[in-house]
Structure 1
Amino acid sequence: MIAILDYDAGNIKSVEKAFKILGKETVLTRDFSVIKKADHVVLPGVGSFADAMNHLKKYELDKAIKEYVASGKPFLGICLGLQLLFESSEESPGVEGLHLLNGEVVRIPDVPGLKVPHIGWNSLDYPNQGRLFNGIDEGSFVYFVHSYYLKAKDDSIVTATTEYGCHIHASVEKDNIFACQFHPEKSSSVGLQILKNFAEI
């Protein structure tokens, strides 16, 4: 069973729908006992870094996430859910993230001819082999919606990158933690394959 964390984030239903298309059993929850029993957990997210952290703390999901990750079972962050796994974000100075991984989240720079936020399809490069991308060709396109991007401190955890006025760490993997800056649930057949790969880990 895949637990999708319900902390009033924006894209929960689309994530749930994508897993259902794959025939996977899901539950939207913020119940600790349900989260502990789950085989996989997904942290989706759309919105601001500070608001999301406030909601996670309000429901004590920050503690549940850290406990679940410590169990060794697969955990996936999507979009803002990726950013929350790191130390901090320029979007919300002074707000500490979950800090399960080392890195900072910074604003996409203003570059002539490119609009911020970065909205639309962009291709992926694979600096390291990632299990989320099994069976998916390098150069495949996925769907992004974001104004801030990850700069991981450890390049060895970066499994996919893209370019949009800067070098963006688009996906990471460390042990049982996986995360994507892009939206696999909105990325057509490529995205469904990514979610299928996660569900089968």
Structure 2
Amino acid sequence: MATKRKVIVTGFQPFGEHTINASWVAVQELERLGLGQSVELHVCEVPVEYLAVQSLLPVLWRQHQPQLVVHVGVSGIATMVTLEKCGHNHGYKRLDNCSFCPDSQCCIDGGPDCIDSVIDMGLVCRKVNSSSLGVAVAVSEDAGRYLCDYTYYTSLYLGKGRSAFVHVPPLGKPYSAQDLGRALQAVVGEMLACLVKDDNHCSH
């Protein structure tokens, strides 16, 4: 029997005005729906804290050795499900839930300024938008220089680009938890299809 592909999907704890974080609600909905028989899905709720992200992410990558890690965050300004193409190393000045921010204002000392995901987000976006899902998907190159961007960059660094970040709008603006769960299921499914295609083209 073929080994199942491992996928980790994370959402965030509440912060600021987001007393219910749509990202974690959407991830729990995805967990209920699943990603099909061939995928072993692990979900995790991430604290909105720089130090917690620093300690948690290496453990997730090492422990599960996933094919793909997808982080989901909420954006108060998003009206669509937004796929982030890259993570940024510098510019972290905003205080987290513990009123802390890194002295260096960066994720990884000496790391590149920006790391791109190996996944073609434009292709994923087109595929999901051309389906009958009924949830609009867009692509962005700026994950916002807060815990979302910080988590994404750290994960891209640890996973050599095999990571993705999805921003969701707050619940009901305009999508329900069920809509967001179905959108994540479709998006992550297409991301995995992208990875499989890339792996088949590689010589290693």
Q: Do both share a fold (TM > 0.5)?
A: no
- Normalised to the residue count of structure 2, the TM-score between the two structures is 0.40
TM-score, structure 1 length as denominator? 0.41
Structure having the larger proportion of residues in helix = 2
Higher relative contact order (CA 8 A, sep 6+): 2
